Structure formats: C-alpha cells, structure tokens
Structure 1
Amino acid sequence: MQTAKAVLKFIKDDEVQYIDFRFTDPRGKWHHITYDASMVDQATFANGIMFDGSSIAGWKTVNESDMTLIPDPATAQVVPFTSAPTLMIICDILEPKTGEPYNRDPRGIAKRAEAYLNSTGIADRNYVGPEPEFFVFDSAEFTFGPYHTSFKLTSSELPIGDGTHREGGHHGHRIQSKAGYLPVPPLDSGQDMRGMMLAVTKAMGVIVEKHHHEVAPAQHELSIQYDTLLRSADSIQTLKYCVLNAAHQLGKTATFMPKPVYGESGSGMHVHQSLWKDGKPLFAGNEHASLSREALWYIGGIIKHARALNAFTNPTTNSYKRLVPGHEAPLLLAYSGGNRSASCRIPFATSPEARRVEVRFPDSAANPYLAFAAVLMAGLDGILNKIDPGVPMNQDLYELPQGEQQEIPTVCGSLRAALVSLDKDRAFLRAGGVFDDDFIDSYIKLKMQEVTLLERTPQSSEFKMYYSV
C-alpha cells in the first residue's frame, strides 16, 4: 500500500475497524491516536490530524501546542495484538501554520539526512542494518521514592534460584553468567517466544532474518534485513513494539534498557552501514579489509565525532553502565577487520555488495531516527573532509597493555559527558539543515533532566559503600 487510495481500499475491503496513527518523540517512544475507520478519508492523508504537541516532552509549549500528524501510507500495517481489526500508520509531524516539517520531529530529521546524502553527490542510498538486543524477564518490579528505592528482576534462566514458585517446579536448566551465547533448548528457554516475536514483526511488514539467545541470561536478539535509513528506523520502532507486546501476551516483560543487570553484558544495537551510488557499492575497494578510501574516511568521521554521537546512539544514563571494561561493549575508538573489540568493525564479506561498516557502540535505547541520521552525518563529514581514521587495530584491544590502551580515544563515560560533547561538536550535524541548533539545544535540555535526576538520587550501592563511614 503505497498510496492513500490503496490504504482506503484496504480498509474497506478488509473491514478494518480502527486506524492507529503513530509518531515518535525525541526520546524514541512511540505515541498513537486511534480513529474509527469511518472518520478516515482522503482528506485525512492530505490535511493530517491535529494533536497537542505541548504534552510531548521536548516539543511545544502550551501557548503554541497545535501540531499536525501527516500519515505515510507506505507504512500502513495490520496490528496483530488488538482484538478489533486495526491498521497502523506511521506519521510525520508538520507545523500547522506553515505546513512545513517540524524541525524537532525525529522522523523528519531522518528524512533530511537522506536528502542531504543525495545533495552531496557522494551517494544516493544509505543502507542500515541494525541488530537490537533486549532482555525478557518473568517479572520486573521497581519502586522509586525518597525512602524506598529498589528493583527486582526474576527469570527461570537466571543462574541462581530466586525463591519464586513456578507451576511444575524448577527445571534446573539455568544459563550461567556470561555463558548464554547460542545455547540450544532447554537452556535456551526463549526459542518459541523469539519465534513468535519474529513472526509478528514479519507480519507487520519488517523483513526479518533470524533470532538467537545472547550472552547474558534472559538476553535475546532479533535480526532484521538491512534497508534504507528511514525504513530501517521505522522497522526498529515496529520491532520494539512487537517484542514488548509479544512478551506481554506471554505473561513476561521485555526491556530494551541497555544495562538492567550488574555484571552481565548489556544490550547493544550494532549498526551496519553502507553507501551506494548508481546501484554500485561505494564501500568496496582495495584498502584495508577490501574497503574503499571513501569507507575509511567514513570511519574517520565516525571516530572523530563519536563522543558527540554518543548523545544519540547511547542516550540514557543507563547506557554508560554498558560501556565499561570487561564486556564486549566497545569503549575504544578504533577500527579493524573482524575485530569485535573495536568500535568500528569491518565484517567479513564474500562480495563487494556486502562491504560495510559496523558501528558497535550504539545501544538498544537509541531513538533510531536520530541515531542513524547522526552516524550518517558523521560519516559524510569524514568523506567530505577526508578524515584519516588512523591505522587499523587488529589485536584484541581488551588485552593491550594499559599504557597502549590509554593512547586510544574512548567513547564517553556518562550521558553528561556525551551531551557536553554534542554541545561543543555539532557543526557536522547542522550540514544541509539536517539537525538545527533549536533541536540540539532542546534535546540537550531534555536529556539533562535525566542526568540531574540520576545524579541527585542516592543509589543502593552508595549505602553499601558509605552508610557506616
């Protein structure tokens, strides 16, 4: 369904009862408004739907709150989780007074990034292949207050029993710490669950590839096929929705929180990227790992701007509990062919068409529209300015002597540091009007609220360390 006419015909022919219009806020959360099908016609697609933008964090003030949703008919998909036949359509945001795209709309920023790529003449297509990881628990309980702050996670996969009564008893097959990569059932208790998640994601129009268990107990990954920047971001939003709702239907709870468990691997979202021009892969060549000079410059741009990128690719205070030594999280800003300890990896490929760069520091909490657009802008800045990424690091970076490690730049250690870096290093994002100062300033202000809350909240670990000082 590529046109409004086709969507309206589908609604009538398939007796769709409700139309669910969705949009993404700056933090990456989906919001929706559901209309009875009888209220949706050609004018809905042409003129849009009004809503209150002042109720969305980081957007409008109450005195200028009116905003317009414009449905994208190409995104229409049947929702598999509702009791009544419902069609979902992803929307863009317009300013009602001018009819222009809203500068703080994340999907609009992704569209401008694609347009900017074309305007440079460097390439006409940017393919993105994200790999989001997530946890699924049997239950998640948490409280937050001045005198009682706690959380408790339970899962039958955890290495030790939690005292929870389970019908049929405990089966004893438990995944040990950091030992959960690709086991078969019964150790992998999520086989059927992930299959259901993949199936409903596919039913909602996403081209899926595979699923498997990840390193930590109760940690999983679904892989989707690469697509253009915008469509990949749409697909990640759809995948997250399907994962959360499929788990909920099964009586479990899923989270894309990067680091919910101390001492275990966190949930990353490795982002594979490639540029194409006139149907040919721009990243294939005769340089390191069979990359082109343009691909190396692209990597150079990402490494140069990585600490500013962290504000979008690792946008939560919890993100930086994943980016710590001792796990697979790539702290060191280096590149290499096949080396998973480098922040930019060049995966092995058997054909020029498969040549790509894998950026490994992003995590699953990222707003995909902002993260993918920002990484593209950094890479393009690298090509336009011929930024040298330095020499490749083929050895295991985790095993380097401390003196050598300290010579390699690193990603940020906190969200505060990332936001400060973004504030100072933003010119590459402003190219072509993709990001503007108004959006960047509003984003920094929004995310600093999270930083301040964390910094002012006593943590349970602090009681352990300091209560009896």
Structure 2
Amino acid sequence: MKSYTRDDIFEMVEEEDVGFIRLQFTDIFGTFKNVAVTASQLKRALDNQCMFDGSSIEGFARVEDSDMYLYPDLNTFATFPWRPQQGKVARLICDVHKADGTVLESDPRHVLKRVLQEAKEMGYTFDVGPECEFFLFHADEDGTPTTLTHECATYFDMGPVDLGENARRDMVLTLEDMGFVIESSHHEKAAAQHEIDFHYDEALTAADNMVTAKMVVKTIAKRHGLHATFMPKPKYGVNGSGMHLNLSLSRNGVNVFSDPEDEKGLSREAYWFIGGIMEHIKAITFITNPIVNSYKRLVPGYEAPVYIAWSAKNRTPLIRIPASSPQSTRIELRSPDPSANPYLALAVCLAAGLNGIRNQTMPPGSIDCNIFEMGEEGRRKAGIERLPGSLLEAAREFYKDPFIMSVLGEELSRKYIRAKTKEYAEYREQVTEWELEKYLHVI
C-alpha cells in the first residue's frame, strides 16, 4: 500500500511536470465529480482549503449548509497517461467534509471507511478483487452512443473476431501505467462485451480503483471511436454486465476464510460471513443493483444469479466459492453490477458479513446442482428464495432491514430511497416500444 507524504506529492508534481490537479470525489450514486486546480494551488488543496457547493451534488446537502471542503487522500495521487506529457494532469481522490471540519456522513467513501474501522477493531482486514464487465458500442456521427456493434465474438475470442481487442489492451496498459495490477482481461459471452479483472486489494483502494477504472475505460474507448457502457443490461436477449466481488478477510496477513480440515476448505468465519450476507442480501441488492435496468439482468437464462443460495461446486447460485489455494480462499458474490457505487456496495457487504460473524450466523446448506434446473417446486422444498425482482421491491426490502439502513445512516438512507423510488416512478410512467408492439395492433 502506498504511503505518500505531502513532500512526496510536491516532489512528484514537480518531477512529472504536472500542471493540473483534479480533486475527485463521488456523489451518492458513485458518479465521479471533481474540482480542478493548477499546480500553483496545490498547497491550498493539501491544506484542505478547496471548497465546493455541496447542494449541487446529488444527496449531499441543502442550500442552507452547502459549503463543503475536499480533503485529499495523498495515497490516491496518480497522473493520467492519456493527457499531455508537458503540463500533465494528475488526480487526488478526496473525502468530503462540512464547513465546521467534520466529515460529511453522506460521503460514500466515509461510509466505507467507517465499516472498515469496525472490521479493524475486530482484527480483520477486508480484501476485494472485482471483476468488471462492460460493453463497447459504436457512437453515431454526432458522437451519440448507440447499442450497435459489428462484432460477433463470444467468450475468450481474440482478434480479428474480437474487434474490441485493441481498445481493451490500451485500457489495461493505461491502468497499469496508473499503478493498477490487472490479473487478466478477455472478451465476454455477449457480442461487444468485455471484462477486466483486478488483483485483490484492501477494500478502500479497491473501491477507489473501481471508480477510476470506469473513467479510464470510457476515456480510452472514446479515443478508439467507441462508447463504453457499464449499464447492466443494454440489450435484450444477451447476457448483462456484472461486477462480481471476490471477498476475503485476513488477520495479521493470514486468510481467515481458509480451513483445510473442512470438507469445503472453509473456516467458521467464512460460513458466518456467508450467513450474514445471505441474511441481508435482499436489502443489500438495493445498493449493489441500484437502477431500474439492474433487474433486467437478474433474470433466468443469462448466467446472472436469481436465487439466494451458495455453492462451492457450481456457478448458478448467488454466492460461490472459487477453487483456490488456502491463502486465496474467498467468497464470490455474483449479483452486483457495475452501476453500483462501489464504496456503498462494499460497505453493506462487509457490514453484513461482520454481523454474521458476530452472531455466528450459519448459512443454509450449499446447493451443488444447477438451481435453474431444479424447478419451482424443487426450489420451494429446498427453501430457496429469489432476489428482489425490481428496483421498487429492492427499495422495500432495504426499508425493512434496519441493520443495512444503519450502515448508510439515517440521512443517506432517506435520500437514497427518495431518489430511487422517484426513478422507479418515472420508469413506470413510460410507454415502451415493447408495449406498443405487443398491444397497439390488437387492443
């Protein structure tokens, strides 16, 4: 892990000829925002004196108390390799504070840091390895995104069938130039769908990396004349894009999820962590699958999980235990999608898992067969429930779960519910092409 000092930042800015610094943060939905300053203003920025209007950011503040300050995290310093080599552009990811110097409780990064502190007090370090999927589509002559593609590649295909190969390679090389460790990248199952997998990292760094990676992928795609989208289900009839999260806990550098004596190789803490996530997964889904379109992905037939179950042997359940060495034992949560705010998504997953450890919550037995082939009656007899089927259903489950709401805090939970129920209401009022094709000529 990096450990930069103020002097390090000043030195790097001078040595690398940085002329512009972007002070970045996210709104409550995970969208990157920034305030930009020149290198001459770096001292002011590092003294936490850069202010912005919080009332202009979704879910942050009212007009009456809108003055917010950015507190840069020195360890997030990085330069953008695609910018000019003279007068380079760098960034620092920031925490958001109120005018009185106190932290903004609704800042998503703070929410994750608070849960990570709870894990630390229990003796744990939380590591995350994300697998992020996205589509590369054409833009029209005006630069407007479309869902068009000329390619027909599928899993692990390569050029010339994989027409996005060059763009994906440049994305990976750019991310590596910024200090990321990329384990692999490949074409996914749907045409124009791609995946980049990151090496596991401490959770706060992993969340920083996820929001940064989305920005990099979109930027490099545009330089190739393409549009990158992390929309979970941009096209009907093909697989959607997920953001599988590989989760593990360690104590003093030792993976606590591993137990070679167990038939599945899992420790008690691992079982309890799974139990905690499964107990709260319906409410968690409101955070990990936060838009109307998320629930177009969570349907049978397209490899995304639909049912609440776990397994060490197959990929159809919500949670699977990938084959690994003892030190790499992890839990893969397969339901999240890349529209999620990674800070909030990791916060609720960790909080639920820790709660499972505290309460020694055992999960139900593993389901080691194809859940989709069990049939409705078989699933009912096995006690297997479904994930929420819509954003509104997920919002109701979130509201019914005071523990998960407490992770976000009362104010942020209220703002989030209000925004998302409004989003669903707007969606419900729309008349879609499907409805016109289905009903217009027969009714």
TM-score tier by shorter-chain length is: over 0.9
CA distance in structure 2 between the partners assigned to 1:415 and 1:183 by the alignment: 34
Asked if 1:409 corresponds to 2:385, the answer is yes
CA RMSD of aligned residues (A): 1.7
CA distance in structure 2 between the partners assigned to 1:336 and 1:390 by the alignment: 10
Deviation at 1:287, TM superposition (A): 3.2
Q: How many residues align?
A: 434
Give the match's secondary structure for 1:40.
helix
Asked if 1:438 corresponds to 2:420, the answer is no
Partner of 2:148: 154
Partner of 1:295: 270
Asked if 1:106 corresponds to 2:108, the answer is yes
- Contact 1:233–1:368 (Cα < 8 Å) also in 2: yes
Give the match's secondary structure for 2:301.
coil
Question: How high is the TM-score relative to the length of structure 2?
Answer: 0.95
Bigger mean CA offset, 221-230 vs 77-86: 77-86
Asked if 1:354 corresponds to 2:357, the answer is no
Identity of aligned residues (%): 37
Give the match's secondary structure for 1:380.
helix
Give the match's secondary structure for 1:212.
strand
Deviation at 1:361, TM superposition (A): 0.4
- Contact 1:204–1:238 (Cα < 8 Å) also in 2: no
Deviation at 1:55, TM superposition (A): 0.6
Partner of 1:17: 19
1:191 to 148, 165, 168: 165
Q: How has the CA–CA distance of structure 1 residues 340 and 141 changed in structure 2, closer, same or farther, with 3 Å as cutoff?
A: farther
Deviation at 1:12, TM superposition (A): 1.8
Question: How high is the TM-score relative to the length of structure 1?
Answer: 0.90
Partner of 1:269: 243
CA distance in structure 2 between the partners assigned to 1:48 and 1:413 by the alignment: 45
CA distance in structure 2 between the partners assigned to 1:141 and 1:362 by the alignment: 33
CA distance in structure 1 between the partners assigned to 2:433 and 2:404 by the alignment: 40
Deviation at 1:401, TM superposition (A): 2.3
- Poorly superposed stretches of 4+, deviation over 4 Å: none
Q: For structure 1, which runs of at least 5 residues remain unmatched after alignment?
A: 143-149, 158-173
1:69-468 paired onto structure 2 within 5 Å: 69-83=70-84, 84-97=87-100, 99-119=101-121, 121=122, 123-139=123-139, 152-157=146-151, 174-175=152-153, 180-285=154-259, 286-349=261-324, 351-406=325-380, 407-428=383-404, 430=406, 434-468=407-441
Deviation at 1:15, TM superposition (A): 1.9
Deviation at 1:45, TM superposition (A): 1.6
CA distance in structure 2 between the partners assigned to 1:36 and 1:225 by the alignment: 33
Give the match's secondary structure for 1:154.
coil
CA distance in structure 2 between the partners assigned to 1:356 and 1:141 by the alignment: 45
Partner of 1:45: 46
Deviation at 1:192, TM superposition (A): 1.7
Amino acid across the alignment from 2:139: S
Give the match's secondary structure for 2:127.
strand
- Contact 1:110–1:369 (Cα < 8 Å) also in 2: yes
Amino acid across the alignment from 1:89: L
CA distance in structure 1 between the partners assigned to 2:131 and 2:219 by the alignment: 19
- Contact 1:48–1:71 (Cα < 8 Å) also in 2: no
CA distance in structure 2 between the partners assigned to 1:388 and 1:399 by the alignment: 26
Partner of 1:167: none
CA distance in structure 2 between the partners assigned to 1:151 and 1:102 by the alignment: 35
Partner of 1:164: none
Amino acid across the alignment from 1:460: E
Deviation at 1:151, TM superposition (A): 8.8
Bigger mean CA offset, 220-229 vs 81-90: 81-90
Give the match's secondary structure for 1:136.
strand
Asked if 1:67 corresponds to 2:40, the answer is no
Bigger mean CA offset, 83-92 vs 217-226: 83-92
Deviation per residue, 1:333-372 (Å, 9 max, x gap): 11110311010100001x2111110000001111100001
Q: How has the CA–CA distance of structure 1 residues 59 and 152 changed in structure 2, closer, same or farther, with 3 Å as cutoff?
A: same
Bigger mean CA offset, 105-114 vs 395-404: 395-404
Bigger mean CA offset, 132-141 vs 217-226: 132-141
Q: How has the CA–CA distance of structure 1 residues 141 and 306 changed in structure 2, closer, same or farther, with 3 Å as cutoff?
A: farther
Q: For structure 2, which runs of at least 5 residues remain unmatched after alignment?
A: none
- Contact 1:140–1:153 (Cα < 8 Å) also in 2: no
Deviation at 1:81, TM superposition (A): 2.7
CA distance in structure 2 between the partners assigned to 1:411 and 1:288 by the alignment: 28
Deviation at 1:28, TM superposition (A): 0.8
